Amino acid sequence: MSAPTVLIMAAGQGTRMRSAVPKVLHPVCGRALVSWPILAAREAGAGRVAVITSPDRDISGALPEDVETVHQPEANGTGGAIRSALALIEESDTVVVLSGDVPLVSAELIAAFTATHEREGAAATVVTAVLDDPASYGRVIRSGDDTEVDRIVEAKAEGDATPEELEVKEINSGIYVFDAASLAAALPELSNDNAQGEYYLPDVLPLIRAAGGRIVPHVSADPNVVLGVNSRADLALIETEARRLILHRHMVDGVTIVDPGSTWIEADVEIAPDTRIEPGCSIIGDTKIGSGSVIGPHTTLIDSIVGEAVTVPHSYLLECVVADRCTIGPFAYLRPKAELAEGAKAGSFVEIKNSRIGAGSKIPHLSYIGDADVGEGANLGAATITANYDGFVKSRTKIGDGARTGVDTTLVAPVEIGDSAYTGAGSVISDDVPAGALALTRPEQVEIAGYAERKAARNEKDAQL
């Protein structure tokens, strides 16, 4: 079988979401709903992938460049959606139909049901699931010998299904694979003579069957793959299941997740084996973590790269790069474009922004380093501050290899501290410091004898007034 064309239905209005955002663009574990079936289709080896959209809610700008779009002219049901793609169907051999609001379909499932379709020589294959409570899902009515699908009846509208049919537990997932020619022949024959007044895609099945085509079921062993989103409550349920699958995948791949119930890892995160994720962590976006690192507890990583053997307890990292064997935190805040080279340290209550910290350099605690270049092996004392903004422009600070700043040093940019230079505690450095020099800007200490006695007398006098 040649690579199938995949059609993803995404034209629904999503009114129950009560949102200005199109339903299929709501995120699930860091990906838009519609992105999940797109990625599954690509991973399964699809040829052309097209998303069927509504002209009222154009989502084409949010789709990958290699995904086609087809506009459904009016909201007239799933059959109308697929009929709007008739020209594309006629150019294909095999057509897979997915739904943009059913995100948990996997590449493995797509490969499995397309294999069933080919093996059975079917004109259409329907992915089904058996649910204890089928609720409003369409019911799969099998043929007399129970090996083929006779028809699918809708349950959500009164009058479409009989009481006996509503007792059926096997439901339609809304996922299909068709022989393209059989589908193309049946679509124009669809009728909207039903309680909803819509064109139902499942109604092509009796038409295909009447034309001599076989309709076979493929029962999914995991009923969760058919879960769809119609409301915010559905979205929460889907996200819970997606998160469980993501965590399970990482654990199978050799990552220790101490408490999955308190850990949030999004879909596109990459974690190497032998990393340990402590409780209370959120790992988001395009974050990548090397092997042997310990993340958390209670750490947030967003779109960041963390190397091997890094420790990051109780910290927040956003769009930064941390090399191997660095130590971060606790209570550190690494902001965008913070880059720490191998073995560097950003300790407790340290904030770094748009700065490069050299290999082995240490910023142990209580410091802000912004718009700076720190060399290798430097050590910045507690409360070192780079004053990098004068209200008009941001300037950079340069700190050389092996430099040492004393406690409570303020570096007023633009300024350069040379290699192996020192600053004294409590200094405000606004001029360059040559290599190997010590810079001090503290005034001489002044002592006022008897001050405490005079102050006490003044307080007593004030109290009598």
The pLDDT of 296-315, averaged and rounded, is: 98
- Report the sign of the C-alpha dihedral through residues 227, 73, 7, 83, in that order: positive
Q: What is the pLDDT of the chain when averaged over all its residues?
A: 93
Q: Residue 460 — very low, low, confident or very high, per pLDDT cuts 50/70/90? A: confident
Q: What is the CB-side half-sphere exposure of residue 69 using CA atoms within 13 A?
A: 18
pLDDT of residue 299: 98
Q: Which amino acid is at 77?
A: G
Which helix (H) or strand (E) covers residue 52, if one does? Answer: strand 49-53
With a pLDDT cut of 90, the percent of the chain lying above it is 77
Tell me which residue of 264, 286, 281 sits closest to 329, measured CA to CA.
Answer: 281
Bigger pLDDT: 93 or 153? 93
Bridge partner list, 372? 397
pLDDT of 27-69, one tens digit each? 999 999 999 999 999 999 999 999 999 877 778 888 988 899 9
Residues 307 and 293 sit within 8 Å (Cβ to Cβ): yes
pLDDT of residue 8: 97
Which helix (H) or strand (E) covers residue 205, if one does? Answer: helix 204-210
pLDDT of 349-376, one tens digit each? 999 999 999 999 999 999 999 999 999 9
pLDDT of 96-116, one tens digit each? 999 999 999 999 999 999 999
Cα 23 from Cα 229, distance rounded (Å): 8
Active site residues: 365
35-43 vs 107-120: helix crossing angle, rounded to 10: 60
The pLDDT of 80-86, averaged and rounded, is: 95
129-136 long-range contacts, CB within 8 A, separation 24+: 129/170, 129/171, 129/173, 129/219, 129/220, 129/222, 129/223, 129/225, 129/226, 130/169, 130/170, 130/171, 130/219, 130/223, 131/169, 131/171, 131/223, 132/169, 134/166, 134/168, 134/169, 134/170, 134/171
Please determine, for residue 181, whether its predicted confidence score (pLDDT) is greater than 80.
yes
The pLDDT of 249-275, averaged and rounded, is: 98
Q: What is the CB-side half-sphere exposure of residue 325 using CA atoms within 13 A?
A: 6
Bigger pLDDT: 17 or 238? 238
Question: Would you kindly state where each structural domain of the chain is located, as residue ranges?
Answer: 5-226, 232-439
Name the DSSP class of 276.
Answer: E
**Among 184-188, 341-345, 399-403, 447-451, whose mean pLDDT is lowest?**
447-451
pLDDT of residue 156: 67
Give the CA radius of gyration of the chain: 32
Bigger pLDDT: 302 or 164? 302
Please determine, for residue 159, whether its predicted confidence score (pLDDT) is greater than 60.
no
Look at the pTM and tell me if it is higher than 0.85: yes
Bigger pLDDT: 390 or 117? 117
CA separation (Å) from 240 to 223, 224, 236, 264, 416? 15, 11, 6, 10, 51
The pLDDT of 207-216, averaged and rounded, is: 95
Please determine, for residue 17, whether its predicted confidence score (pLDDT) is greater than 80.
yes
* The Cα angle at residue 371 between residues 412 and 417, in degrees rounded to 5: 50
With a pLDDT cut of 70, the percent of the chain lying above it is 98
Cα 89 from Cα 317, distance rounded (Å): 47
Structural class in CATH, domain 5-226? alpha beta
* The Cα angle at residue 95 between residues 207 and 88, in degrees rounded to 5: 95
Which letter, b or e, does each residue of 413-438 get, where b requires 16 or more Cβ atoms within 10 Å of its Cβ?
A: bbbbbbbbbbbbeebebeeebeeeee
Please determine, for residue 343, whether its predicted confidence score (pLDDT) is greater than 60.
yes
| Fold classified for 232-439 | UDP N-Acetylglucosamine Acyltransferase; domain 1 (2.160.10)
Please determine, for residue 398, whether its predicted confidence score (pLDDT) is greater than 70.
yes
Q: Residue 93 — very low, low, confident or very high, per pLDDT cuts 50/70/90? A: very high
Number of CB atoms found within 10 A of residue 264's CB: 18
Tell me which residue of 424, 357, 430, 418 sits closest to 390, measured CA to CA.
Answer: 430
Q: What is the CB-side half-sphere exposure of residue 439 using CA atoms within 13 A?
A: 25
Residues 407 and 388 sit within 8 Å (Cβ to Cβ): no
pLDDT of residue 157: 57
Residue 302 CA from chain centroid, whole number: 10
| Phi/psi of residue 274, nearest 5 degrees | 70, 15
Q: Residue 1 — very low, low, confident or very high, per pLDDT cuts 50/70/90? A: low
